[in-house]
Amino acid sequence: MPKLTAKMLCILATPLLFGPVHTFADTSISNQSEKKPFSSMAVTPDKGEVCRAPKPPVDLAETAYVRNGYRAVLRLMAAQKWQETGSCECFLNTISWEEVIEQSDAFKVSNDARRPFDVAGLRLRADEILALRDEACAN
């Protein structure tokens, strides 16, 4: 009888540990002819439209940090428009990136070109106002 090496033991033990391959895949001949309905793991979207700030274009700023700052400014501008009008319209889609850049000086906290905004602070301010908007417009 030949001597069993570690490699041969691993090869022989694999079916015992993991079972025959056909138990994992449903490939039997009788099942191949049956039509099974396709089921998707996709989650159906909520009924209401989501008012979400679009991603800023890559060419808007050199770094993602500054682009995220512009996005936060956009959200704040939309929130301020809601406060002024009381309308439940999604203003995020009505404000252009050019308008955001024009208004962004009011939101800058630094002259550093790479970190002109306090992005976290801007997001928090926008989140607070937009939460009030969502609450008021849910009714």
> Model confidence over 63-76: pLDDT tens digits?
999 999 999 999 99
Contact 53, 76 (CB under 8 A): no
The closest alpha carbon to 137, from 51, 25, 74, belongs to 51
Domain residues for the domain of 62 are: 58-138
For 67: left if phi > 0, alpha if psi spans -120 to 50, otherwise beta; the answer is alpha
Q: Exposed, middle or buried, 29 (CB in 10 Å: 0-12/13-18/19+)?
A: exposed
Number of domains in the chain: 1
Does the residue 76 lie in any domain?
yes
* Residue 63 included in any domain: yes
Most confident range (mean pLDDT) of 17-21, 28-32, 94-98 is 94-98
| pLDDT above 60 (res 33) | no
Q: Is residue 24 part of a domain?
A: no
pLDDT reading at 21 higher than 60: no
**DSSP H stretches of helix in 86-118:** 97-103
Give the model's pLDDT for residue 9. Answer: 64
49: Cβ contacts below 8 Å, ≥ 6 apart: 90
Q: What is the pLDDT of residue 32?
A: 55
Contact 67, 122 (CB under 8 A): no
Smallest Cα–Cα separation from 36: which of 47, 44, 28? 28
With beta carbons less than 8 A apart as the criterion, state whether 88 and 136 touch. Answer: yes
Distance of CA 94 to the CA centre of its chain: 21
Q: What is the pLDDT of residue 126?
A: 92
Q: Is the pLDDT of residue 103 over 90?
A: yes
Is residue 101 very low, low, confident or very high in pLDDT (cuts 50, 70, 90)? very high
Coil, strand or helix: which one is 12? helix
Would 128 be classed as within a structural domain?
A: yes
CA 98 to CA 79: how far, in whole Å? 17
For the stretch 76-96, pLDDT in tens is: 999 999 999 989 888 998 999
Q: Residue 90 falls within a domain, yes or no? A: yes
In a domain, 19, yes or no: no
Is residue 45 included in any domain, yes or no? Answer: no
Residue 16 belongs to some domain of the structure: no
- Decide if pLDDT at 17 tops 60: yes
Give pLDDT, residue 36: 63
